[in-house]
Chain A
Amino acid sequence: MSATPRILYCHCQYAQVLPKDVKEGVLQKLCEADLPFEAVADLCELSARRDPLLKEIATGGPVKIAACFPRAVKWLFSAAGAPLDASSTEICNLRVQPLEAACDALFASTVTPNLPTGKPTA
């Protein structure tokens, strides 16, 4: 199991809920950084299909996921039979985070776990 956090990027291909400049900006920065990463067209679709890639991601050690709300990502993986490890998963929420903040979090060498547990309220 690698200690270096892996990166998963969701393109949310089938909806316009991620700001285009943030979504494409993050992908552009990933390509410029020359880092290994996984990019998926749509995390929701992979969840519905129970795509084996999600289990590989969930069981492969620390991971940073650039997608949407942590609560949604958590339960999308769970629905696919691939629960994420809350202690080693960090979600960058491209729906609300500005590009720079999302990239700073994504490229930081340490994982700051932020999956919700229980019934947190805003």
Chain B
Amino acid sequence: MALQQPALRVSLYEGPGARKLTSQGRFESIKQLLAQGCSVRSGSPDSNNAAVLVGDFEESVSGESITQERVRVADPAFPEAIEQSRSRTNAAASGQWKPWFPVIDYDRCTNCMQCLSFCLFGVYGVDEDRKLQVQNQDNCKTNCPACSRVCPEAAILFPKYKAGPINGDLVSDADLEREKMKIDISALLGGDVYSLLRERTAKAQSRFSKERDADKALAERQKCLVKLSSIAADIPPEVLASLPKPEEIARRAEEAAAKARAAGMQS
């Protein structure tokens, strides 16, 4: 999924040629438009480049100064008309993706690249200045905050997470103490998470080639990740259940390591 399309912009129009809405009518209309993923401007004569004007339009509008598409709030087909406008303007579809992804607090980030090394899903990358970036937000596994758990500086936010400091709440001294105790997951696992994964993968592949038992190979990978999750916490079961094949894990690990090496932060 490409995250390139902007949201559909709608202006709630109450100017010449339209009747003023009641506050309840305004509330209901905006709520409906927000539920459809629109960005809505209300109460302003400037329609802010809106593709669509929504309002209680009078039957005949003199002057025809309005050039945008008009949708009547009283029309029972109002939501369908908005969807048609969305298709016509190639605006982002609503609700296809829960916006769950890491956001970096650069006031705290030290560019240590632990998150980049840890993430199996290619969410992170580096820019031309070798600075850590979130590059593939839609690769992130919904409700998985695991990378924020490995960040030694509590610099990774998931704004929709339930608790602080991951949700963006201030970092407390107690949080920082926990960060110190967290240590480095890779150190806990003997130096390198991906070495462990590769080792496990190799064993699983070897076993697979001998036994041709895909279930056992899968169980082995899951056992490895369960071990990781018991240390890192918060890796949801669906992430474990949707693990890529061993070759894919190894490939992604190599890519992540190469990115980190390119950034000059990892051997």
Interface residues in chain A, defined as those with a beta carbon under 8 Å from any beta carbon in chain B: 11-15, 17, 24, 27-28, 30-32, 34-53, 56, 68-73, 75-76, 78-79, 95, 116-122
Contacts and interface: CB of A to CB of B under 8 A. Distances in A.
7 contacts: A14-B160, A45-B99, A48-B137, A49-B7, A51-B39, A72-B168, A121-B171
A40 B101 CA distance: 18
A79 B4 CA distance: 14
B131 interface: no
A52 B50 CA distance: 12
Contact of B106 (A13, A39, A75): A75
Interface in B133-170: 134, 137-138, 157, 159-160, 162, 164, 167-170
B172 A121 contact: yes
B148 to A, nearest CB: 12
A84 to B, nearest CB: 13
A41 B7 contact: yes
A13 B94 CA distance: 10
B27 A27 contact: yes
B51 to A, nearest CB: 12
A69 B161 CA distance: 11
B170 A41 contact: no
Nearest to B31: A27
Given A27-B31, A28-B27, A39-B42, A49 B95 contact: no
Contacts of B176: 121
Interface string B72-113: 000000000000000000001011011111011111100000
A83 to B, nearest CB: 10
Contact of B23 (A12, A31, A42, A118): A31
Contact of A119 (B23, B26, B107): B107
B97 A45 contact: yes
A50 B40 CA distance: 17
Contact of B159 (A24, A40, A76): A76
A95 B167 contact: yes
Interface residues of B, number: 55
Contacts of A35: 43
A30 to B, nearest CB: 8
Contacts of B39: 38-41, 46, 51, 53
A75 B27 contact: no
A72 B7 contact: no
B239 interface: no
Interface in B21-54: 23-24, 26-27, 30-31, 33-44, 48
Given A38-B40, A72-B159, 9 more contacts: A11-B31, A15-B160, A41-B39, A41-B94, A51-B6, A51-B7, A72-B168, A75-B105, A121-B172
Interface centre among A30, A43, A44, A70, by most chain B C-beta atoms within 10 angstroms, is A44
Q: What are the 4 closest A-B residue pairs judged by CB atoms, nearest first?
A: A72-B168, A69-B168, A44-B99, A36-B44
Contacts of B168: 68-73, 75
A79 B134 contact: yes
A16 B185 CA distance: 31
A11 B170 CA distance: 22
B103 A17 contact: no
Contacts of A53: 6-7, 9, 39
Contacts of B48: 38, 56
A13 B34 contact: yes
A51 B103 CA distance: 16
A41 B99 CA distance: 11
A41 B35 CA distance: 7
A70 B170 CA distance: 9
